[in-house]
């Protein structure tokens, strides 16, 4: 699945979220809603999170996490799982952002190297699963984990990343709420 940006603006802001597990921290939602696009890297946890994010930005894309399975979603919301891909690509000014949950990329110690090998055409890869806020920008593609934007295993508080994507330069800002 590829999501194309269509605006001619030289820069796009993208909120990178993951691991809400059915609960989206209100501070994350409010801040992310100011971005042009919101990307959720899986373990969404329910329709409420999808609805809160889907209406908050010009563009929204989410991928399926290992907990986004029928057994863990309310029966009335399970039909939404059909529309969640395992991975997605977002074409942004200056490059391609790849989104995956990362749970199938093992062992965890080699996850960044394996993601880079799997998606060499990307400018950045965002994944979730570990709930750990990480920005590995030492080489391209960057490997980014926004941590957990909910309340489960936040390791210091809900977190997320804001990506500023311009044709000639990408930069990041990290957020963690106490």
Alpha helices in 111-157 (DSSP H): 111-118
Span 116-144, mean pLDDT? 97
pLDDT at 39: 97
pLDDT at 8: 52
- Band of pLDDT at residue 59, cut at 50, 70 and 90: confident
Over 70: is that where the pLDDT of 58 sits? yes
pLDDT at 141: 98
Q: Whole-model pTM above 0.85?
A: yes
Over 90: is that where the pLDDT of 168 sits? yes
**Percent of the chain residues past pLDDT 70, beyond the cut:** 94
- Please give the backbone phi and psi of residue 160, each rounded to the nearest 5 degrees, phi first: -165, 170
**Percent of the chain residues past pLDDT 90, beyond the cut:** 90
As to burial, measured by CB atoms within 10 angstroms (0-12 exposed, 13-18 middle, 19+ buried), residue 169 is exposed
- Please give the backbone phi and psi of residue 7, each rounded to the nearest 5 degrees, phi first: -80, 150
- Band of pLDDT at residue 79, cut at 50, 70 and 90: very high
Considering its fold, how many domains does the chain have in total? 1
Over 60: is that where the pLDDT of 44 sits? yes
Over 50: is that where the pLDDT of 3 sits? no
* Residue of 175, 134, 130, 144 lying closest to 157 (CA atoms): 175
Q: Is the peptide bond before 141 cis (omega within 30 degrees of 0)?
A: yes
What is the domain extent for residue 166? Answer: 2-176
pLDDT at 9: 57
Residue-wise pLDDT for 80-105, tens only, equals 999 899 999 999 999 999 999 999 99
- Distance separating alpha carbons of residues 119 and 76, to the nearest angstrom: 35
CATH number of the domain that residue 21 is part of: 3.60.21.10
């Amino acid at each position: 699945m590829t999501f194309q940006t269509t605006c001619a603006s030289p820069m796009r802001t993208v909120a990178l979220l993951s691991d809400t597990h059915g609960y989206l921290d209100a501070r994350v939602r409010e801040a992310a809603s100011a971005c042009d696009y919101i990307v959720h890297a899986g373990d969404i946890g329910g329709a409420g999170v999808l609805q809160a994010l889907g209406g908050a930005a010009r563009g929204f894309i989410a991928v399926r996490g290992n907990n986004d399975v029928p057994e863990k979603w309310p029966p009335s919301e399970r039909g939404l799982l059909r529309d969640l891909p395992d991975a997605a690509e977002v074409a942004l000014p200056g490059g391609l952002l790849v989104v995956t949950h990362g749970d199938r990329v093992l062992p965890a110690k080699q996850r960044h190297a394996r993601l880079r090998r799997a998606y060499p055409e990307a400018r950045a890869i965002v994944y979730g699963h570990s709930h750990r806020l990480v920005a590995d920008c030492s080489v391209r593609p960057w490997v980014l984990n926004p941590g957990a934007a909910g309340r489960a295993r936040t390791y210091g508080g809900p977190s997320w990343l804001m990506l500023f994507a311009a044709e000639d330069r990408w930069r990041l800002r990290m957020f963690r709420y106490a």
